[in-house]
Amino acid sequence: MNELKHVLKLTLIEKKDVSIAIFFGFLAGIASVALMGSSGYLISKAALTSQMTTLVVMAACLKLFGFASALSRYGERLYSHRATFTMLSHLRVSFFERLTPLAPGIFGKYRSGDLLSRIVGDVESLQNFLLRVFYPPVVLSIVFLSTIFFSSFFSIGIALVMLIGMLLTVVIVPALFSIRKRKTVGQVRAMRGSLAVEATEFLYGFRDLKIHQQLGKKEQLLKKEADQYNEGQRKEGLEENLAQSINSLVALLVSFFVLGVGAYFVAAGELEGLYLAMLVMISIAAFENVAPMAAFPAYFEESRKAAVRLEEIVAVPGAAQGIEKLPDRPLEINLKEASFSYPGETALAVDGVSLQLKPGTKTAVVGPSGSGKSTLMQLLLNVFPVDQGQLSIGGKPVETLDQEAIWQEMNIVLQENHFFFGTIRSNLSIANPAASDEEMERTLAQVQLELFPLEMKVEEKGQNLSGGQKQRLAIARALLKGKSLWFLDEPVSSVDSVTGRAIYEELFRQGHNDTFVVISHDLVGLEKMDQIAVMENGRIVEIGSYNELMKKHSYFYQLKQIENSVFA
Ligand SMILES: Nc1ncnc2c1ncn2[C@@H]1O[C@H](COP(=O)(O)OP(=O)(O)OP(=O)(O)O)[C@@H](O)[C@H]1O
């Protein structure tokens, strides 16, 4: 139950709705018991007396109880569902708030299909928590205890039989099935996750699978996962039916027992015969209410597992979240002795790197593929917090700063940039919602996309744009944001060299007083940079201006020689 503490807390935020739902649930339950009890009493009374007034009063009571039961049931449904939807919205918000700071590292830990299945499926599963886990035992216990209390005025023996029946159907049988269920629910959930993983991979990789003639193989794998999941669900269904049947059987046996014990008490003169039918009918009605408890084990386990799986995602320490705003002056960025390895990896992607970015300077980071350039940039952006070392911005440790405020001051173009389904205008306006059409058109011209109309359609992930066009659109977004800290990770790698150079010229012209960090494979044009950091195996092996590095005749010089000889 500990695992569901957080969900329970969120449910009880709406105490009023939950209490009203319980109240109406109790009224509905007790009204149906009263309806059956009074009909039992009416039957006996009609057989034993010809007194019309009593019979008319009883018939009126029957109608009243029937009406009250239907009305209360409506109120119960209304308030319990309202409380459930409110709880779900609280759950989504609280989960999302905890997930956001972890987002950059989360894909290292979970595959996207699994993550999606957890976030959507598990949150949805918890909609049953109030309706089928928390609420039924509470309402049933109150209804039962009231019924037992009422019955005890007529026969303590029958009240005791009902109490035992209640313990069996509300507590013992559901608890036994919950223990059994613990084994199977986890498996089915894991199966659903692994099916979602395979389905996502299949959809994302469809083109490559087709090119490499692996579509059939992957389809078979997907089918196998689907079959396993179906089989798991089938077994789960059988288990639920078994729980339901056993609980109904116990409930029925208890009612028979009440009849038997009641008949014995009547024969022994300990109970007036007039009340026997009423007590039996009361017992039948009370145990009819017990039906939702048959589904309790399944829903309890499902909710528990869903809560555990959701907690697993967010219960990891994320980057420290500061609240301080950035100082209002040109910012110096300082990375000291920073080391970082990706979650689950032992090798250091960045190993003891120090880098100083003075305001208004231009820094290039170069080096072979896999040497840690992009990782270094992610550390400078505080997308990943450093494992060791320290990052400070404007003289303040990054942990003390508000992350959103940091990113607000940066123009960022990464290797992969996301484009949303919409238009060129809507994709540009995410960088600067206040930008006018003229500003957007001017920016498009700066990246040589002047032929793109602002209302041009952009498909999902920018599928209708070429690689180079996407990069230029990402640069246009950064230009439109107009901040003074630039972080560019191979921003023109898919653009032809002439256009690429012209774009760099434009960027440096617009941001001539700004701070730039540029990752580049292209070693041409680095003369303009104030410093060039050369990386290898996660370390900065050389740093200096173009002339300093060329004079050294060391690593950068050799790279330059190789580039010259290849392209000579
Ligand atoms: N998400 C990740 N999870 C685990 N390891 C990663 C991840 N991203 C990168 N790495 C590893 O970290 C190391 C540095 O990668 P990084 O992307 O920083 O190199 P890079 O110099 O930018 O390469 P490239 O020039 O090819 O873009 C590599 O060994 C890479 O395998």
Helix, strand or coil for residue 416? coil
For residue 104, pLDDT beyond 80: no
**Residue whose CA is at the smallest distance from ligand 1 atom 30:** 370
Mean pLDDT of 470-481: 94
Q: Determine the Cα–Cα distance for residues 191 and 200; give it in Å rounded to an integer.
A: 14
**Residue 185: band (very low, low, confident or very high) from pLDDT cuts 50, 70, 90:** low
Does residue 520 line the site of ligand 1, with CB under 6 A? no
Average pLDDT over residues 356-373: 93
- Nearest residue (by CA) to ligand 1, atom 14, is 372
Q: Which atom of ligand 1 is nearest to the CA of 350?
A: 14
Domains defined for the chain, CATH in brackets: 2-314 (1.20.1560.10), 333-409+483-567 (3.40.50.300)
What does the pLDDT read at residue 117? Answer: 72
Take atom 12 of ligand 1 and give the residue whose Cα is closest.
Answer: 349
Report yes or no: 289 and 29 within 8 Å, Cβ to Cβ. yes
For residue 218, the CA-to-ligand 1 centroid distance in Å is 27
Of 46-50, 136-140, 185-189, give the range with the top mean pLDDT: 136-140
**Interface predicted TM-score (ipTM) of this complex, two decimals:** 0.96
Q: Are 486 and 478 contacting, i.e. CB atoms less than 8 angstroms apart?
A: yes
Mean pLDDT of 77-93: 89
Q: Is the pTM of this model over 0.80?
A: no
Decide: 484 and 409 in contact? Cβ < 8 Å: yes
| CB distance 50 to ligand 1 below 6 Å | no
Contact indicator for 495, 501 with CB cutoff of 8 Å? no
Q: How confident is the model at residue 11 (pLDDT cuts 50, 70, 90)?
A: confident
Distance from CA of residue 502 to its chain's centroid? Answer: 43
| 86 pLDDT more than 80 | yes
| pLDDT above 60 (res 567) | no
Asked whether 349 lines ligand 1 (CB < 6 A), one says yes
Percent of residues, the chain, with pLDDT higher than 70 = 95
* CA geometry: angle 340, 342, 347, nearest 5 deg: 70
Is the pLDDT reported for residue 461 higher than 80? yes
As a whole number, the mean pLDDT across the chain is 87
For residue 390, CA distances in Å to 377, 398, 400, 407, 462 come to 14, 8, 12, 18, 37
The response to whether residue 108 sits with its C-beta less than 6 Å from ligand 1 reads yes
Q: What is the 518 CA–ligand 1 centroid distance (Å)?
A: 16
pLDDT tens for 294-345 read 778 878 888 888 888 888 877 766 555 677 777 777 889 999 999 999 877 8
345 lines ligand 1 (CB under 6 A): yes
User: pLDDT-based confidence at 452, cuts 50/70/90?
Assistant: very high
**Contact 341 CB / ligand 1 (< 6 Å):** no
Mean pLDDT of 212-227: 90
Confidence class for position 544, pLDDT limits 50, 70, 90: very high
Q: In the structure, what pLDDT confidence band is assigned to residue 290 with cuts at 50, 70 and 90?
A: confident
The predicted structure's pLDDT at residue 566: 59
Q: Which of 102, 107, 112, 342 to mutate to test the pocket of ligand 1 (most atoms within 8 A of CB)?
A: 342
Beta-carbon contacts of 209 under 8 Å, excluding residues fewer than 6 positions away, are 202, 215, 218
- List, as one string, the DSSP characters of 271-298: S-GGGHHHHHHHHHHHHHTTHHHHSHHH
Q: How far is CA 25 from CA 28, 285, 319, 471, in A?
A: 5, 14, 45, 59
Residue 530 has a pLDDT of 93
CA gap 58, 428 in Å, rounded: 74
> What's the mean pLDDT in 456-480?
92
Query: 539 CB under 6 A from ligand 1?
Result: no
Residue nearest to atom 24 of ligand 1 (CA): 369
CA distance 419 to 184: 41
Task: Please state the atom number of ligand 1 nearest to the C-alpha of residue 521.
Answer: 25
Structure tokens at 384: 């990943």
Under DSSP, the state recorded for 401 is B
Atom of ligand 1 nearest to the CA of 376: 18
Atom 6 of ligand 1, nearest CA residue: 342
Across the range 32-53, mean pLDDT stands at 84
